Every structure is written in structure tokens, then in C-alpha cells.
Amino acid sequence: MSKEAAVIGAGSWGTAFCLLLSRQGIKTRLWVREEEIYQEIKSNRTNNLFLPGFILPPEVLPCLDLAEAIDDAEMTFVAVPSRFCRGVYLRMAKNLRPGQIVVSLTKGLEEGSLMRMTEIMARIFPPEVFLAVLSGPSFAREVASGWPTAVVVASEVAEVAEKIQRALSSLNFRVYTSPDVKGVEIAGAVKNVIALAAGISDGLGFGHNARASLITRGLVEITRLGLKLGAKQETFYGLAGIGDLVLTATGLLSRNYQVGFRIGQGEKLPTILAGMKMVAEAVPTSISVKELATREGIEMPICHEVYQVLHNNKDPRTSLIDLMSRSLKGEPLSPGS
């Protein structure tokens, strides 16, 4: 690729991704929405609000103008919370050129439309723009630190996925390719809901057995939804599926796990969210997953109980009782298991 890229969004993941690109010798324009963060990066080369402890190198150029950020970029990586993506995509669309590659780094679903991020892009962007999604077990702080990480990039155009793979891969960051855009996006979104459930379980002190069961049965729910929507089953057994789920449901750096843990400890969701600087995607995604499951006629009991706890103020212990007292079934993956 050319030695220029753009990152849209200066949260923790967008900032970490700039550090990743700079290690590959790629000059990167970072679009920053907040004036104060722009000034901090420009003056001090730091982003202490979202990713403290790291210095951004000269190859990372902050900018407030979205058109300026993507103008010369062969690849643009969008790291924006799902609820803001459509607005950002609409602003990007008029400045994209044929042949440019846009990669979604967002792990969520749009409320209301229930669409994946690349679905929204395909509706908004010119048809000559190539789309991809990158996902997998990748905490921003560990990527920023250069710790070993493996992810998957999916595109319906194999050459596009391979181009991104070559641009990003290094001894510390290994990229696999996949054609299953649907599966990678569904896995990345729904795993956050299961991770929040695991956090609730740990916050209640239910132990490792319960958490392992939630992760395992949660993977069944993610896979069930993905298959109904046309994804490939093997995707859910890879980095975007079980890999990211295990990380997010067990790692203390996971915002979604932490929200669940605090709920399990007795805190109320509005209080938790009011004190957070970054978005916990599981909260809005739990609404979209419930609506998708209803629309598709799919049983997703763990996701259903997370929705009830988050949005109907259901007691987490009552949710556990309801999960454990469901009618007994066989384990094979099937719509009613």
C-alpha cells in the first residue's frame, strides 16, 4: 500500500491503531472529534483521556477536518462507537475516491436498523469503495504496547483482505484473512453482551465454573444468530469468535466485563455509565441483539437475560435462576438447545 492511511476516531482503539500503523512505517492522519484532544496530541503527542502512557510518533498527524484525514489515504480505518458511525459515514462518503479501502474497527450493531457497520457503509459509500472489517482478541492497550496479537480481517474481495493483511502484519501483529464479513461482525458485536454476562457472574461471586459455562453457551448463541443471518460456522471457532469472546469475557481491561462486574457487585447501570469515559458497546448492542433474535425467531437466553438486567432492572440473581431452571435439553447446536 501507499505509505499513508487514516484513522477515524481518537478513542483508545483508534489511538492504539495509529501506533500500530506507525510501527509499519505508515504515515497516518488521525481524525479527532474533540478539540481538546486534538490540541493535546498536537502539543504533547499524548492522548491521556483515552490512552494514557503512550507517546504518538511524528508519523501520526492529528486533524479536525474529516475530508483532510481521508484525502490521501489508500486505507481508512474507522474506530468510532456504533451509535455514531452512520453520521460519520455520511460525512466521509462525499470525500471517498474510487479504489479507496475502508476498514471497520467497530464492534457493534446499529440500534433501530439492526445493521452491521459494513452494511451501513455499503448503503452510503460509493460502490467503487472497497469495504472490510478487522476484529479479534485485541485490547487497545496491549496493541499499543506492541504485545503479540492475532486478528482477522474480512472482505468479500480476497485481494482487499490480503492487501490489508500485508500492510499490518508484523512479528507482533499477525493478521489472518476471511471472506466471512457477516460472521466476523456478528461475532465482534454479540460477544460483548456475553462478556457483560460473565462480568455479572464474577461480580456476584459465582466462580469459574459459571463463567466458563456462560462463555461456552454464549458462543452457541452467537453462532446460532450468525448462521441464521448467513455467516459461516467456522468463523465462530476462530479469532473473531471464540478468541475475542474469551478475551472480552475474562480480561480485566474489558469495559463490557467491567460494567457487568460492577452490576454484579450491586451498582446501578446509569451510575456506572455516567462515570465512564469510553463506550461499553454491550449496552446498546443488547437491545439490537434482542430485536434480531425476536425477528429471526432464535432463542438466545443469555442475551435475553442481559437485556432484562440492563434495560428492565431485573435482579441478576433472578436472571441466573431463570437461566438454570429452563427446560432440560441436549447440547448439540440447534435452534432450541
Domain locations along the chain: 4-179, 182-324
Task: Confirm whether 191 is a catalytic residue.
Answer: yes
What global pTM score does this model have? 0.95
Q: Looking at residues 11-26, what average pLDDT do you find?
A: 97
CATH class entry, domain 4-179:
alpha beta
Phi, psi dihedrals of residue 211, rounded to the nearest 5°: -65, -45
**Domain 182-324 is classified in which CATH homologous superfamily?**
N-(1-d-carboxylethyl)-l-norvaline Dehydrogenase; domain 2 (1.10.1040.10)
pLDDT for 336: 46
Task: Compute and round to an integer the Cα radius of gyration of the chain.
Answer: 19
Task: Give how far the C-alpha of residue 285 lies from the chain's centroid of Cα atoms, to the nearest Å.
Answer: 11
pLDDT tens for residues 139-175? 999 999 999 999 999 999 999 999 999 999 999 999 9
Q: Are strands 60-63 and 75-78 parallel, antiparallel or unpaired?
A: unpaired
List the one residue out of 13, 97, 20 whose CA is nearest residue 60. Answer: 20
Catalytic residue among 191, 232, 268, 277: 191
Confidence tier at 1 by pLDDT (50, 70, 90) = very low
Residues 198/244, Cβ–Cβ less than 8 Å? no
* Burial classification of residue 247, based on how many CB atoms lie within 10 Å of its CB (0-12 exposed, 13-18 middle, 19 or more buried): buried
pLDDT at 334 over 60: no
pLDDT for 335: 45
pLDDT at 2 over 70: no
Q: Looking at residues 78-92, what average pLDDT do you find?
A: 97
Confidence tier at 332 by pLDDT (50, 70, 90) = low
CA distance 257 to 250: 7
CA distance 175 to 4: 19
Edge to edge, what strands does the sheet with 173-178 contain? 60-63, 27-31, 4-8, 75-78, 101-104, 130-135, 149-154, 173-178
